[in-house]
Amino acid sequence: MAPVGPGPGPLLDADELYRFYRNGEEEVLALRGVSLSVAAGEVVAVVGPSGSGKSTLLGCLAGLDEPAGGTVRILGQRMNARTEAERAALRARHVGILFQSENLFTHLTVAQNVALVQRLAGKQSNGPGEVLESVGLSTRARAYPSQLSGGETSRAGLAVALANEPELLLADEPTGELDSEAGLRLVQLLRRQADSGCGILIVTHSPDAVAAADRVVFLADGRVQEPPRKEAS
Ligand code: ADP
Ligand code: MG
Q: What percent of the chain has pLDDT over 90?
A: 83
Task: Establish if 101 belongs to a structural domain.
Answer: yes
- Residue 215 class from Cβ within 10 Å (0-12 exposed, 13-18 middle, 19+ buried)? middle
**Residue 85 CA to ligand 1 centre (angstroms):** 25
- Looking at residue 233, its pLDDT comes to 54
Task: Establish if 111 belongs to a structural domain.
Answer: yes
Give me the domain span that covers residue 181.
12-224
Task: Establish if 64 belongs to a structural domain.
Answer: yes
**Residue 57 CA to ligand 1 centre (angstroms):** 10
* Domain containing residue 59: CATH number: 3.40.50.300
In sequence order, which residues have a C-beta less than 8 Å from that of residue 108 and are 6 or more positions away?
A: 116, 144
Give CA separation, 199 vs 10, 37, 40, 74, 94, in Å: 10, 10, 4, 11, 11
Task: Establish if 83 belongs to a structural domain.
Answer: yes
Site to substitute for ligand 1 among 19, 20, 21, most atoms within 8 A of C-beta: 21
Task: Establish if 3 belongs to a structural domain.
Answer: no
- Comparing 124 with 1, the larger pLDDT belongs to 124
- Geometric angle at alpha carbon 154, from 35 and 110, rounded to 5°: 120
User: Could you give the number of structural domains in the chain?
Assistant: 1
Residues having CB closer than 6 A to ligand 1 are 21, 23, 28, 30, 48, 50-56
Q: Is 227 helix (H, G, I), strand (E, B) or coil?
A: coil
For the stretch 47-91, pLDDT in tens is: 999 999 999 999 999 999 999 999 999 999 999 999 999 999 999
Task: Establish if 229 belongs to a structural domain.
Answer: no
Atom of ligand 1 nearest to the CA of 48: 3
Label residue 1 by pLDDT band (50, 70, 90).
Answer: very low
For the stretch 138-164, pLDDT in tens is: 999 999 999 999 999 999 999 999 999
Site to substitute for ligand 1 among 55, 64, 223, 225, most atoms within 8 A of C-beta: 55
Task: Establish if 104 belongs to a structural domain.
Answer: yes
- Check pLDDT > 70 for residue 3: no
